[in-house]
Structure 1
Amino acid sequence: MTASDTTTAPHAVPVVVGLDVATAAVRVVCVDARGRVAAEGGADLPQPVRTPGGGREQDAGTWWPAAVSALRQATSRLPGRGAEVRAITVSATSGTFVLADSAGEPVCPGSMYDDRRAADLNAEAQLLGADRWKRLGLSVGPTAALGRVARLARLSRGPAPAADDGCDRLRSGDAGSFRVLHTPDLLGRHLTGAPVAADWSHALKTGYDPGAGEWPAEVLPALGVPDTWLPAVRAPGSEAGVVCRRAADETGLPEGCSVRLGMTDGCAGQIATGAVLPGRFVGVLGTTYVLKGVTRELVTDPWGAMYSHRHPDGWWLPGGASNTGGEALAGTPADRLAALDAAASARGPAACVHYPLRREGERYPFVSGAARGFRLGAPRDDVEGHRAALEGVAFLERLAVDHARALGIAVDAPLYTAGGGSRSALWNRVRATALDMPLRTVPRAETAFGAALIAAAGTLHASLADATDAMVEPGQVVEPVPAEREALQDSYGRFTAELRARGWLDRD
């Protein structure tokens, strides 16, 4: 059956599919042109394995079977048994990849996004491409995929170690025929039955330069990476191919259905909120706090707190992730949180100031390995302590927005918000008041939903902006509380003054 087949079941309407490959699970959503979820599916993946030297691996051979299972669940629940699917897009964790042979079969375990075994090679890559990374406002971190690809290139030429590292095929195969496949590249090959291009979002941490539209020629050869290993790269949302007969038989997708290039989980999550036009930003309050938005031009951050992916339409997606966020409330039972919220709401602003950093070092909106959590004043009871923690994260969000504006970035109102923390009505009011701008809550800011929106651009809708306008629920607008504005502004001033006094925040 093809995508153009009209013999679908009664009441079946066209849908697109978003497929999210997370660390330990695959999730699928089927969404119609109005944003209604028509069917869902899911499957587990094996937990990644820790290896000596900071490695983290997963059997890449499990990615496609799990995707098949999740897709089959979802398509079997559609009125047309999958015949109404017009397009599919895959999103995955940033920096996860596998090296595969000419047939697309993995020759080693999949290397996960947080694998640290190539930290030395990534440091070398940072020096080799210093001018390029500076232009892009990027740094090559210790877990970047770029160094991990170079590590595999060296393993392919070297003798086997004493311990079994699962790379026998890597050393025994024809290294010249190998290809780097990010998770969506591998699944795209299975879906289409042929090699597919990578998108510039998943390729970013492998070293692709989305500004110049090229792989870094001054870096990869010096690291020993064959240029034949690297995929062609195209814009997210581009058509990678169409579903082949074999994949259609396995998944329930219609043969000929469009396979569209996706974006990393963080970018897809941003798109799911509707923050896809210049000036729109979203604050995601999960375990940690993340601010992401859209600019027309690339804006680099001399402090290194923000960096940018490239937007599917050629704009830029600046953002940063804090070490602070919802984990400030870790250990407090959910029923206790509701009671504390109610009491803290009635109490009003805290007299003390709390920076609830639970680990060493901060990475956004300022960068300091010396940063530690602190309190200015002692809370009189648990209620005030709870309120001060909520306010501390709100102050960090305000600092993130101030930091973006200091770089010349327009952050328009309302600020979109998502994540588990945005389910707290009190926390949203505190955040809106600290920011002195309204928030707009987003009900379904999920990676799979964002992938579906990318699939809808050019299929169910003319553009990504049209897709998000039609398919993303508007949510509720939360206004600042005028009676609490002065107290929170005063506490925010104490918060930033203390960061400066401790030498963690630049005085300018």
Structure 2
Amino acid sequence: KYGLSNDVVLVGGTTDSNAAFFAAAGANPEYGTAVTSLGSTLAIKQLSSTYVEDASRGVYSHRFPRFGGSDGEESDNEEEAWLIGGASNVGCAVLRAEDFSTEELSSLSLEIDPNEDSPLSYYPLIKTGERFPVADSSKEPVLSPKPDSRTEYLHGILQGIGDVERDGFKVLGELGATPKLPKVVLSCGGGSKNDMWIAMRQRRLKEIYGDDSDDVVVKRATNTEASYGAALLAAATFDS
């Protein structure tokens, strides 16, 4: 059916987004490892020891294989793992819709202090409707008031996207993610190239940790290609 050679051995399968998680986090990540994809839309996934699902919040779970048992076998049910998360309609597509060029994004980001809050409270959708962290087909974009300064405008948009990410992880915790909040957030996608934004997102995310704000780190993932993740999954399956 697929034109594969008779010598090919099929040992596992997954979706492209889950394969990207494998690529970023490896085949045997710790509970609390999360991956945020900053592409045209924003998607988050977190490894949890508990199953979480709520269609009204756009939250779903995929069973995650556990490798590396004492005899190289998959872990038993007491150590089951779930890849939980959701995908928002908010994302980097709004930057193109608002005519920010790659060069402008780079230069203006250097003018933004990631430790300062923007007074602008945006929900930067490009069209009506949201999936996560709440499923609301009538959710409207909020991109006003629009300041004269392009730097201030960009600051508000990036903060708005980061706040959707923060609220997404907060929802996962409220629904029963274990651990309640991620310990490390690996970033992939075009937006992960922006160091200022990584620092801003980490600061905003720490707001929901209270006294435990030192317990989360946001950084760029080394590997992000789904093909690499699929290879890791295959290798781990062979080893098990």
> TM-score by structure 2 length?
0.80
The SS at the match of 1:343 is coil
Change over 3 Å in CA distance of 1:457–1:345 after alignment to 2: same
Match of 1:296 in 2: 49
Match of 2:83 in 1: 317
- Greater Rg over alpha carbons, structure: 1
User: What displacement does 1:319 show?
Assistant: 1.7
User: What displacement does 1:295 show?
Assistant: 2.0
- Give the counterpart of 1:334 among 91, 95, 102: 102
Match of 1:67 in 2: none
What does residue range 447-466 of structure 1 map to in structure 2 within 5 Å? 447-459=226-238, 462=239
Residues 424-446 of structure 1 show CA distances to partners (whole Å, capped at 9, x for unaligned) of 01111110011013202112211
Residues 151-192 of structure 1 show CA distances to partners (whole Å, capped at 9, x for unaligned) of xxxxxxxxxxxxxxxxxxxxxxxxxxxxxxxxxxx35xx233
1:262 aligns with 2:13: yes
1:407 aligns with 2:160: no
**How far apart are the structure 2 equivalents of 1:296 and 1:348?**
35
Looking at secondary structure, tell me which structure has more strand per residue: 1
**How far apart are the structure 2 equivalents of 1:308 and 1:296?**
11
User: What displacement does 1:420 show?
Assistant: 0.9
Residues 376-419 of structure 1 show CA distances to partners (whole Å, capped at 9, x for unaligned) of 64424111001000000000001001100101212331212111
Aligned Cα root-mean-square deviation (Å): 2.1
Match of 1:425 in 2: 195
Match of 2:32 in 1: 279
User: What displacement does 1:283 show?
Assistant: 1.0
Check conservation: 2:57, 2:133, Cα contact below 8 A.
no
Partner AA of 2:11 in structure 1: R
**How far apart are the structure 1 equivalents of 2:205 and 2:184?**
10
The SS at the match of 1:332 is coil
> TM-score by structure 1 length?
0.39
The SS at the match of 1:359 is coil
The SS at the match of 1:355 is coil
- Give the counterpart of 1:443 among 222, 226, 230: 222
**How far apart are the structure 1 equivalents of 2:205 and 2:185?**
9
Partner AA of 1:280 in structure 2: T
**How far apart are the structure 1 equivalents of 2:42 and 2:115?**
25
Change over 3 Å in CA distance of 1:325–1:406 after alignment to 2: same
**How far apart are the structure 2 equivalents of 1:347 and 1:384?**
14
The SS at the match of 2:85 is strand
The SS at the match of 2:113 is helix
Change over 3 Å in CA distance of 1:332–1:376 after alignment to 2: closer
User: What displacement does 1:318 show?
Assistant: 1.3
1:389 aligns with 2:157: yes
Change over 3 Å in CA distance of 1:371–1:457 after alignment to 2: same
Check conservation: 1:417, 1:440, Cα contact below 8 A.
yes
1:191 aligns with 2:5: yes
User: What displacement does 1:328 show?
Assistant: 2.1
User: What displacement does 1:321 show?
Assistant: 0.7
User: What displacement does 1:294 show?
Assistant: 1.8
Match of 1:476 in 2: none
The share of aligned pairs that are identical, in percent, is 29
The SS at the match of 2:37 is strand
**How far apart are the structure 1 equivalents of 2:63 and 2:148?**
47
What does residue range 22-61 of structure 1 map to in structure 2 within 5 Å? none
**How far apart are the structure 1 equivalents of 2:65 and 2:48?**
12
**How far apart are the structure 1 equivalents of 2:115 and 2:50?**
44
User: What displacement does 1:299 show?
Assistant: 1.8
